[in-house]
């Protein structure tokens, strides 16, 4: 087929280079007169992008600006994100993506991604054929019921798959045409959305039960037929569905739940790294979770495997892990626990959060509540009373929902806390010492896991793959990071981090005989050479 020419080139985001086209390209694509006479390098274009981005007064406006850039010039967007990842990632993902999802129908410019509605039952495979790219390797799908800590946002939740796939490209070099964001439009129970004339989703109450399961089954099986090499990532499903879908499909197809498994691996990596500061042996740790949803329980499930690697049996491993929910400590005898909580209900007197800390004396506190301020001053001071270096993970997103701020953690612990959060916090100066807390963001894990499984064409994702991903990430934290309180490596090095994680995951897939692609002689080099380069 002949190459597009003229405005068809300028209006194609994958082809458009705007003012960076060479003289030869201008002649070939008949662009003379359609762009200014002065040629610019991609570096100059990035300078212009950043100048305009920083001129905006609100993060949501910066988000809209960046999405417009992506729709106009794909390579310039991704090159700019890679070069300025620490500044831009909070704008294209957490925390700004939370606001973007809440307002998605109101800031809608053009359709991105694939929507599969409840009325499409029986036609899902046909709908997948409408997607223009046929070499799809990563699909991120949500039903919008539990978007970050914001709840049921229906089809407004499309911002999450779009954002995650942008990070797959920028952070791990998955090619843009190999990603597909999907929203299952199965209704919403958010009355505000149902009453909103601009809402773009089906205005029905959420599909439940067999009808819901049948639609998801049809979608998953259609993906296997249309895109047999694709990794299917479940994102922001409500806890019961998240676990049900993961348990149903994890041994049948190449799939992954980032909220459960990605969060687990990144948190485990942080705990591994924290022991280098605390001086404690990992096998001796007692860990307490505030919140007992899919994220917290996913972390605990992977930690059980990590503890068992140290020589503990399964029961001993579970006894290291304690949970507190809105009703207090999870203990045997409670009749209000979900199935995934039952293995962590121990013999103990029922008590509240503070009482649980006093009696159990955990070394590590992990918050996954979705509610701000739940790590109160009393809680942090009590952890600091029990531990010389208390370890606190305030993982809830977006930033406004964090269990405590970095400043509070350091002030209330008198500068002794080992702290990480799910969303970014600025450096903190306390009594003359500068702390640079790192964000325990899933971006350290899921892009590398995806890259590794895609590179070797893995059949499944196993717990062993997630363990090696966590161990690899923890091993990339150096002494300079630890000296300023960082228990994750610098985000600026995310491409190399993702490559290292990908190599470890692929190696594990080969070891478990789950890879369909023949192993290259130099696995790291082969994966590195496959990564997308946005440079013109």
Residue 234: predicted pLDDT: 98
> Are 35 and 21 in contact, with CB atoms under 8 Å apart?
yes
> Are 452 and 503 in contact, with CB atoms under 8 Å apart?
yes
Mean pLDDT of 56-75: 98
User: What residue spans in the chain does CATH classification 3.40.50.720 cover?
Assistant: 261-440
- Per-residue pLDDT at 1 exceeds 80: no
> Are 181 and 162 in contact, with CB atoms under 8 Å apart?
yes
Torsion of CA 20, 24, 28, 31, to 10 degrees: 40
pLDDT in tens, 285-344: 999 999 998 899 999 999 999 999 999 999 999 999 999 999 999 999 999 999 899 999
User: What residue spans in the chain does CATH classification 1.20.1370.30 cover?
Assistant: 7-84
Between CA 334 and CA 420 the distance in angstroms is 31
Residue 207: predicted pLDDT: 97
> Are 298 and 304 in contact, with CB atoms under 8 Å apart?
no
> Are 77 and 104 in contact, with CB atoms under 8 Å apart?
no
* Domain 261-440 grouped into CATH 3.40.50.1370: no
Residue 398: predicted pLDDT: 81
Catalytic site residue 164? yes
* Domain 96-253 grouped into CATH 3.40.50.10380: yes
Return the CATH number of the domain spanning residue range 444-530.
3.40.50.10380
Match domain 7-84 to its CATH number in 1.10.357.10, 3.40.50.10090, 3.10.20.30, 1.20.1370.30. Answer: 1.20.1370.30
Backbone angles phi, psi at 369, to 5 degrees: -100, -30
Residue 17: predicted pLDDT: 98
Per-residue pLDDT band for 125 (boundaries 50, 70, 90) equals: very high
Per-residue pLDDT band for 424 (boundaries 50, 70, 90) equals: confident
- The per-residue pLDDT of the chain, averaged, comes to 97
Give all strands of the β-sheet with 114-117 in edge-to-edge order: 114-117, 179-185, 138-142, 231-234, 255-257
pLDDT in tens, 443-464: 999 999 999 999 999 999 999 9
Between CA 11 and CA 73 the distance in angstroms is 9
Query: 63, 93, 212, 410: which is the annotated catalytic residue?
Result: 93
Query: 164, 249, 435, 488: which is the annotated catalytic residue?
Result: 164
User: What are the distances in angstroms from CA 262 to CA 113, 362, 412, 413, 446?
Assistant: 22, 23, 30, 29, 6
3-class state of residue 348 by DSSP? coil
Strands 287-290 and 364-367, how do they pair? Answer: parallel
Catalytic site residue 134? no
User: What residue spans in the chain does CATH classification 3.40.50.10380 cover?
Assistant: 96-253, 444-530
Burial of 189 (0-12, 13-18, 19+ CB in 10 A): middle
């Amino acid at each position: 087929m002949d190459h597009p020419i003229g405005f068809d080139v300028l209006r194609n985001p994958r082809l458009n280079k705007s003012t960076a086209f060479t003289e030869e390209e201008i002649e070939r694509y008949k662009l003379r007169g359609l762009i200014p006479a002065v040629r610019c390098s991609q570096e100059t274009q990035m300078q212009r992008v950043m100048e305009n981005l920083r001129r905006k007064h609100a993060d949501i406006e910066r988000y809209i600006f960046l999405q417009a850039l992506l729709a106009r010039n794909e390579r310039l967007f991704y090159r700019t994100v890679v070069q300025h990842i620490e500044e831009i990632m909070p704008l294209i993902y957490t925390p700004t993506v939370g606001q973007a999802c809440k307002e998605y129908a109101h800031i809608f410019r053009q359709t991105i991604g694939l929507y599969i509605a409840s009325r499409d039952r029986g036609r899902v495979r046909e709908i997948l054929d409408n997607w223009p790219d046929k070499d799809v390797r990563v699909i991120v799908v949500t039903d919008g019921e539990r978007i970050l800590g914001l709840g049921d946002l229906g089809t407004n939740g499309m911002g999450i798959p779009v954002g995650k796939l942008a990070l797959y490209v920028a952070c791990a070099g998955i090619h843009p045409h190999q990603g597909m964001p999907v929203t299952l439009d199965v209704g919403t129970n958010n009355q505000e959305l149902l009453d909103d004339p601009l809402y773009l989703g089906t205005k029905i109450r959420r599909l439940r039960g067999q009808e819901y399961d049948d639609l998801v089954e049809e979608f998953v099986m259609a993906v296997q037929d249309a895109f047999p090499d694709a990794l299917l990532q479940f994102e922001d499903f409500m806890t019961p569905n998240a676990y049900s879908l993961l348990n149903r499909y994890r041994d049948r197809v190449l799939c992954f739940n980032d909220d459960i498994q990605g969060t687990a691996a990144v948190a485990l990596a942080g705990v591994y790294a924290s022991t280098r500061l605390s001086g404690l042996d990992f096998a001796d740790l007692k860990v307490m979770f505030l919140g007992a949803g899919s994220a917290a329980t996913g972390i605990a499930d992977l930690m059980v495997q990590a503890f068992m690697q140290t020589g503990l049996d399964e029961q001993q491993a579970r006894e290291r892990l304690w949970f507190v929910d809105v009703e207090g400590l999870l203990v045997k005898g409670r009749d209000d626990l979900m199935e995934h909580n039952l293995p962590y209900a121990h013999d103990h007197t029922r008590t509240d959060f503070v009482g649980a800390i006093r009696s159990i004396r955990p070394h590590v506190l992990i918050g996954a509540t979705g509610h701000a301020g739940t790590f109160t001053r009393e809680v942090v001071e009590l952890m600091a009373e029990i531990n010389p270096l208390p370890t606190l993970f305030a993982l809830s997103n977006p930033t406004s929902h964090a269990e405590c701020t970095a400043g509070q953690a350091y002030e209330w612990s008198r500068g002794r806390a080992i702290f990480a959060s799910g969303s970014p916090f600025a450096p903190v100066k306390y009594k003359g010492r500068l702390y640079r807390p790192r964000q325990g963001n899933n971006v350290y894990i899921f892009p590398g896991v995806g890259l590794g499984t895609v590179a070797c064409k893995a059949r499944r994702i196993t717990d062993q793959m997630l363990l090696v991903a966590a161990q690899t990430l923890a091993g990339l934290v150096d002494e300079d990071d630890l000296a300023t309180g960082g228990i994750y490596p610098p985000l600026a090095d995310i491409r190399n981090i993702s490559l290292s994680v990908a190599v470890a995951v692929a190696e594990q897939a080969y070891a478990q005989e789950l890879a369909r692609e023949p192993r290259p002689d130099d696995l790291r080099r082969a994966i590195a050479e496959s990564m997308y380069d946005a440079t013109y």
